Amino acid sequence: MLKTLRRIIQEISGAEDFREALKIMVKRIAKALDTQSCSIFLLDRRHGEYVLMATEGLNPHAVGKVRISLTQGLVGLVGEREEPVNIDDASKHPRFLHVAEVKEESYKAFLGTPIIYHRQVMGVLIVQQAEPRRYDESEEAFLVTLAAQLAGIIAHAEATSQIVNLFDSRDTSAEATYSGIAGAPGVGIGTGVVVFRLLDLTVIPDREPEDIEEEIALLESALMSAREDFRVIGERLYPNLPEEERALFDVYQRILDSSNLGVEISSVIREGNWAQGALRSVIQTHVSRMESLEDEYLRERASDIRDLGHRVLTYLQRSDRSLPQYAEKTILIGDELTAADLAEVPEGCLAGVISAKGSSSSHVAILARAMGVPTVMGVNDIPIYDLQDKEIIVDGYYGQIYSNPRDSLRREFTHLAREEQQLDASLEALRDLPAETQDGHRVMLMVNTGLGADVGLSLAAGAEGVGLYRTEIPFLMRDRFPSGEEQRVIYRQLLTSFAPRPVTMRTLDIGGDKSLPYFPVVEDNPFLGWRGIRISLDHPDIFLVQVRAMMRASEGYSNLRIMLPMITDVSEADEALRLMKKAFADVREEKYDIEMPQVGVMIEVPSAVYQARALAKRVDFLSVGSNDLTQYLLAVDRNNSRVANLFDSLHPAVLRALIQVVEGGHQEGKHVSICGEMAGDPAAVILLLAMGFDSLSMSASSLSRMKWVIRQFTQKKAAKLLQDVLSMENAVMIRCHLELALDRAGLGGLIRAGR
């Protein structure tokens, strides 16, 4: 069964388009289960109906026409129950619905299973047979497994716009709304600019060509270049190649001949697709055909065709047309955007960000927040490639996206965006005022830098220092480790810009989702693996170079603080301190006139929470990394959009952990700070105040907003709210309670669009 299953999945994932994939699926399932009929109904959400989308055994003319309401028939029953329905004689079942058009009178046995993705029913997969019988357990398991695979394919097809006309009613120029995860607050209105990974054939979208003849000319030149490559490689290798491998190079060249592959791709271009899209479509068809062959040798050849396609794509993408044309107000859209994608948008042009994958604690969302760009993450069912050049509104408060908005909606959001600008302008007046509650409780407000926010922006926002400098950024921007001197220059700049304000430099925190291209760490569980301080202690060479560079850079200043990430055990702190003392002695010996910097540890794993006091005894300060602490306490991958709804730093367990950390630090008389994204969440800030954090470190764009919160509350009121929420059992209730308090204090503009 597993072999059959794998074959079916391979075939459908290589199908030319989504309809084709569905057709292949019903045909193959019917054959594999030796049953007379197999059909797929998909849910048309807009009309609340299941639509017959593919069938083997029912009337093929009914495809796309037969619609069954959610509460009707056995199909409706499968959707309602959200589990398989297995009946030996369907015609006798009270929910049996006679639909003349499908011509299913001759079938008795019925097995239907729901197609579910992210808890939502997307459709129903059914098999039928003339003789009355119950399908056995293995058949049922097979169908359920296929339905689960199909769910992922449907979601992917929607995201990559392969379902262009899934339901006849779909109209890509009509207004549409999509929901995701709020990534960075604010309202952005602009034009969709879709970026996709270069050199990945599978993600190339279909696109209407501007000039068909030009596309064909581009294709021909790319084919010629690829052919030339194979000729040269072939010639170079011929003397050492066995006979059959030599033949392969000849075959490659022949396939690339414009009279073979060229003709096929050109005809797809003439049907209205650009050269890259046409190449993807033709290569995928060939690959899937070969992968479905019985002969193993021929099946293996599918990867040769794929390689060939990639080589041609390389040449097609060398023409600059693949580079995105940014709009004046760009809403940047991608399947999985990276920090580099954001950085490439010309300054002043980025109005919003939409990433189909990722969550609010992904580093790209952190960067967007630092830049103050409204962002929505993890929008699974968004037809990314349809949004190119469309007018788009991004509501980064509620994680909502609107494409082709009607006039009234656009007016409403334009008004809200203007109100936001006024709010930001009015907050500028707070710049030089202290972050102090109305009853005199003072906290320090610091910035997180390294991921984009520049020094000028931070100082202009009134930052009292740097609470977190992510040193991995200069490491990520090179193709080798930066030398000690290169690092010293970078660190010196930062210390100078902020002096005499404190600058907290975190030692290298790679691993997890941050890997250096020249120091790859490949692991099954990177977030539980070789990460942060673990790498530094295993590589004292890298660690010592870094801390020495920091210390040398601090000459003449006394504002350097060094912070250790991912500490899980006191012995790690002890060992790091030993190395730092050694580095200090070395640098002093070099005649640098420096002071020993303050050293702190990050509290970002549960074990460190329980040992906060023991850690505080050894160091000068503690700083909570609430992004990782939430991830590890709740066992929720911070980058995984599938579980993003479970990631909430207001979870009661996280709140109790924070209280314990503050207590542990203060019992030893040490400064306790927090530098995760939680410190820039207005609802959370009230609680952090009450817990007694000495400083909060956040992105520069959040600073004035959080100062506003602090100045609108009293410590007494914050303590009361903390007491209230500690009796609540889930994050949703806690957030509602705090947002209500913010609204009542006149701070509603921080949790939704407008003032």
Q: Which residues pair with 117 in a beta bridge?
A: 120
DSSP letter for each residue of 634-690 = HT--TT-GGGGGG--TTSHHHHHHHHHHHHHHHHTT-EEEE-SGGGG-HHHHHHHHH
CB nearer Mg ion, residue 23 or residue 531: 531
Helical ranges in 319-454 per DSSP H:
339-344, 363-371, 407-427
Shortest reach from residue 486's CB to ligand PEP, in Å:
21
Distances (CA, A) of 388 to 187, 198, 334: 19, 17, 10
CB nearer Mg ion, residue 49 or residue 604: 604
CB nearer ligand PEP, residue 473 or residue 745: 473
Q: Is the CB of residue 29 less than 8 Å from the CB of residue 143?
A: yes
Shortest reach from residue 299's CB to Mg ion, in Å:
44
Shortest reach from residue 604's CB to ligand PEP, in Å:
5
Which of the listed partners (Mg ion, ligand PEP, none) does 206 bind, with a CB threshold of 5 to 8 Å by partner kind? none
Segment interacting with Mg ion, rule: CB under 5 A, options 71-79, 291-299, 623-631, 658-666? 623-631
Reading the block at residue 575, the tokens are 């060992």
Does the annotation count 736 as an active-site position?
no
How far, in Å, CA of 176 to CA of 576, rounded? 54
CB neighbourhood size of 422 (10 A)? 12
Distances (CA, A) of 180 to 42, 358, 397, 619: 22, 10, 11, 41
DSSP letter for each residue of 56-95 = ESS-GGGTTT-EEETTSHHHHHHHHHTS-EEES-GGGSTT
CB nearer Mg ion, residue 151 or residue 573: 573
CB nearer ligand PEP, residue 12 or residue 563: 563
Does the annotation count 675 as an active-site position?
yes
How far, in Å, CA of 681 to CA of 750, rounded? 9
Rg of the chain taking only CA atoms, in angstroms: 30
- Before 500, cis peptide (omega within 30)? yes
Say whether residue 450 binds Mg ion (CB under 5 A). no
The only residue of 628, 648, 677, 681 in contact with Mg ion, by rule CB under 5 A: 628
Shortest reach from residue 627's CB to Mg ion, in Å:
5
Which of the listed partners (ligand PEP, Mg ion, none) does 703 bind, with a CB threshold of 5 to 8 Å by partner kind? none
Q: Is the CB of residue 190 less than 8 Å from the CB of residue 392?
A: yes
The residue type of 441 is H
Which of the listed partners (Mg ion, ligand PEP, none) does 611 bind, with a CB threshold of 5 to 8 Å by partner kind? none
Shortest reach from residue 626's CB to ligand PEP, in Å:
5
Which of the listed partners (ligand PEP, Mg ion, none) does 381 bind, with a CB threshold of 5 to 8 Å by partner kind? none
Strands 120-129 and 37-44: antiparallel
Say which DSSP state 442 is in: B
Q: Which of 441, 651, 671, 675 is catalytic?
A: 675
**Residue 711: its H or E element:** helix 703-712
CB nearer ligand PEP, residue 14 or residue 676: 676
CB nearer Mg ion, residue 528 or residue 585: 528
Shortest reach from residue 282's CB to ligand PEP, in Å:
43
The only residue of 114, 180, 190, 625 in contact with Mg ion, by rule CB under 5 A: 625
Which of the listed partners (Mg ion, ligand PEP, none) does 675 bind, with a CB threshold of 5 to 8 Å by partner kind? ligand PEP
Stretch 547-586: interaction string toward Mg ion, x if CB under 5 A: ----------------------------------------
How far, in Å, CA of 383 to CA of 159, rounded? 4
Shortest reach from residue 533's CB to ligand PEP, in Å:
12
How far, in Å, CA of 407 to CA of 163, rounded? 27
CB nearer ligand PEP, residue 559 or residue 627: 627
Shortest reach from residue 567's CB to ligand PEP, in Å:
12
How far, in Å, CA of 612 to CA of 751, rounded? 32
Q: Is the CB of residue 734 less than 8 Å from the CB of residue 650?
A: yes
Using DSSP's 3-state secondary structure scheme, residue 726 falls into helix
Q: Is the CB of residue 509 less than 8 Å from the CB of residue 566?
A: yes
**Residue 352: its H or E element:** strand 350-355
Reading the block at residue 156, the tokens are 């992917």
Sheet holding 49-56, edge to edge: 67-69, 49-56, 37-44, 120-129, 109-117, 85-87
Upper half-sphere CA count for residue 92 (Cβ side, 13 Å)? 8
Which of the listed partners (Mg ion, ligand PEP, none) does 470 bind, with a CB threshold of 5 to 8 Å by partner kind? ligand PEP
CB nearer ligand PEP, residue 108 or residue 357: 357
Ranges within 583-612 binding Mg ion (CB under 5 A): 604
How far, in Å, CA of 251 to CA of 315, rounded? 20
Shortest reach from residue 450's CB to Mg ion, in Å:
12
CB nearer ligand PEP, residue 542 or residue 745: 542
Q: Is the CB of residue 117 less than 8 Å from the CB of residue 101?
A: no
CB nearer Mg ion, residue 277 or residue 625: 625
Question: What's the 3-state SS for 40-55?
Answer: EEEEECCCCEEEEEEE
Q: Which of 38, 156, 286, 363 is catalytic?
A: 363
How far, in Å, CA of 518 to CA of 511, rounded? 13
**Chain residues that interact with ligand PEP, rule: CB under 6 A:** 468, 470, 509, 604, 625-628, 675-676
Shortest reach from residue 510's CB to ligand PEP, in Å:
10
Shortest reach from residue 472's CB to ligand PEP, in Å:
8
CB nearer ligand PEP, residue 129 or residue 701: 701
How far, in Å, CA of 664 to CA of 670, rounded? 9
Shortest reach from residue 509's CB to ligand PEP, in Å:
6
Residue with tokens 């660190």: 491
How far, in Å, CA of 671 to CA of 669, rounded? 7
Using DSSP's 3-state secondary structure scheme, residue 696 falls into strand
Nearest to 579 by CA among 628, 546, 620: 546
The site for Mg ion (CB under 5 A) is made up of 604, 625, 628
| Residue numbers annotated as active site | 363, 675
